[in-house]
Amino acid sequence: MKDIDYLKKYLKEENLEEAIKRLEKGEPVQYIVGEVDFFGNIIKVNKNVLIPRFETEELVYKTIEYIKKYFKKSIKIVDLGTGSGCIAITLKKKLPNSIVHAVDISKEALEVAKYNARINNVNINFYLGDMLEPLTDKYDCIISNPPYIAHDEEVMDIVKNNEPHVALYANDNGLENYKKILKNANKYLNDKYLIAFEIGATQANEVFKLAKRYFPNDSIIIEKDMQNRDRFIFITNIKSFLSNKL
């Protein structure tokens, strides 16, 4: 009933019957409507991009607050695995003086992200490639909600059957992309930096160990989402970060 009410809110009466049929066949309501509200921004979605979640809004909120607290100047940010572009677009709108870049391995996803940037009237540089690989610049902030589901992990049918697997699954028990980023991140970071990750609810210890391996002298913070699950990791060389976190 909740999903049908959502359809009624966004669709015209003459389109409801077909939309309800699609819903009954197991298609996510967000794909049927074709858009979601993310942080107050309209983000278009289709089967080429992951549907943005509330947890990712939390990641963006926390990252914005940390940037405002610890960086006093215009900064340079890159969003790795941008998908629909929801993270990059929100960061650019909330931090308009910052330079924002975004990367995705899917050409189809980048087309959606570029469209979303246009309709939200923000200027973002987009790159096609695998995480840091296509980049040549250095950044103050690297942010990512990468694919992190292990291939043998239990996933709801509505997710597994509809959302792009390239945006969901990762090798090495879901840790592949964190390793790719952390192993190479130093080459892409300015002198003062923040790395912000969304992680799977059972991955905190493993991602923490990876962060400690590649950034042994940094502050590494695990933070919980509103459901009290470990869902975010922040890595920084800002010395006051641990004692003055949010």
Position of tokens 């409801």?
16
Summarize pLDDT for 172-221 with one digit per residue, the tens: 999 999 999 999 999 999 999 999 999 999 999 999 999 999 999 999 99
Between the alpha carbon of residue 190 and those of residues 75, 77, 119, the distances in Å are 10, 11, 31
Cα–Cα distance for residue pair 211/196, rounded to 1 Å: 11
Angle at 94 between CA 67 and CA 63, to 5 degrees: 35
Q: Where are the beta strands (DSSP E) in 110-198?
A: 125-128, 139-144, 189-198
Q: pLDDT digit string (tens) for 92-115?
A: 999 999 999 999 999 999 999 999
158 is written with which tokens? 């509505």
Work out the pLDDT band at 5, boundaries 50, 70, 90: confident
Q: Which residues pair with 42 in a beta bridge?
A: 37
Q: pLDDT tens for residues 120-169?
A: 999 999 999 999 999 999 999 999 999 999 999 999 999 999 999 999 99
Give the tens place of pLDDT for each residue, 34-70: 999 999 999 999 999 999 999 999 999 999 999 999 9
Tokens of 85: 């572009």
